[in-house]
Amino acid sequence: MVISDGHIAREAFTLLRLSPLLEPRRDEFAEAVSAAYATIEGFAAAHGWTHRMGVFFDRGVEVFESQAALWERIKTLHSLPRDLPVPTPGLAAALECRILVAVTPEEYASVAPEYGSTPDAYPRLLAHEIAHRLHIAIVGGDEDAMGPEWLYEGFAVVASGDLLEPPRCEPTWEALSAGGRGAYRRYAALVRRLMSLAPLSELVERAGRPGFEDWARGFLTSGRSR
């Protein structure tokens, strides 16, 4: 189901659950959610996945003033142990149990300055989480079929309309697929490079099969030398 921008903006407005302190900013958050949704809706349409698109956060949108509060909420949603530490220092958003949860733009800029302080960083953060849900819908709900981390995170970064600079020069496969700081930038560069050789739908479809990384690596190398 494709929902027009106007509809999703109204829907986002009513889906939002905000603390009294954030309540005066309801319009701002509804606009960001709406922009994020429109980005992924457009991306899905561009790749022939309109039929996989949906409002994946129909149970609500919640914004938290701190990463700690966001993490508490995620632990509650998944009945995780209370003392479980934050899994990643840059945790800023998630889409769990059909609820989109995120910190504020200012908290995002604080916990992930390398990503959170760029223009339009906030709608892109939300779009990134929606993109993961689109990806899961494309692979029929089987999260194991999403492929390696570099593929599904690269997918989400590309889908969310990243304005991130690609790495300079011609980095090796090892450099692009490595984790660590700035990894999402490299993952997106790797996915973009593969997308210049094959449709993204083919990469996504192949990613769930055994031997995908070997295939992708060989494909990239042979594609480059042509």
Least CB distance to Zn ion at residue 132 (A)? 6
The single residue among 156, 191, 194, 207 that binds Zn ion, judged by CB under 5 A, is: 156
Least CB distance to Zn ion at residue 170 (A)? 26
The CA distance from 97 to 92, in Å, is 17
Q: Closest by alpha carbon to 55, among 5, 102, 18?
A: 5
Least CB distance to Zn ion at residue 212 (A)? 18
Sole window of 36-44, 83-91, 94-102, 150-158 interacting with Zn ion (rule: CB under 5 A) = 150-158
The DSSP symbol for 12 reads H
Q: Closest by alpha carbon to 135, among 159, 115, 101?
A: 159
In the bound state with Zn ion, the residue whose beta carbon lies nearer, of 9 and 92, is 92
Sole window of 6-14, 91-99, 140-148, 149-157 interacting with Zn ion (rule: CB under 5 A) = 149-157
In the bound state with Zn ion, the residue whose beta carbon lies nearer, of 9 and 112, is 112
Residue 164 tokens, joined = 């991130």
Residue 151 tokens, joined = 């593929």
Helix/strand/coil percentages in the chain, nearest 5: 60, 5, 35
Contact between 157 and Zn ion per CB under 5 A? no
Which strands sit side by side in the sheet containing 60-64, from one edge to the other? 16-17, 60-64, 99-103, 93-96
Residue 9: how many CB atoms within 10 A of its CB? 18
In the bound state with Zn ion, the residue whose beta carbon lies nearer, of 9 and 56, is 56
The DSSP symbol for 167 reads P
In the bound state with Zn ion, the residue whose beta carbon lies nearer, of 55 and 112, is 112
Sole window of 31-39, 143-151, 154-162, 214-222 interacting with Zn ion (rule: CB under 5 A) = 154-162
The CA distance from 206 to 65, in Å, is 39
In the bound state with Zn ion, the residue whose beta carbon lies nearer, of 62 and 153, is 153
Residue nearest to Zn ion (CB): 156
In the bound state with Zn ion, the residue whose beta carbon lies nearer, of 11 and 153, is 153
Least CB distance to Zn ion at residue 128 (A)? 5
Least CB distance to Zn ion at residue 8 (A)? 21
Least CB distance to Zn ion at residue 95 (A)? 10
**Total binding residues toward Zn ion, as defined by CB under 5 A:** 2
Q: At what angle do helices 149-159 and 26-46 cross, to 10 degrees?
A: 110
The kind and range of the H/E element at 206 are helix 200-207
Question: Which residues lie near Zn ion (CB under 5 A)?
Answer: 153, 156
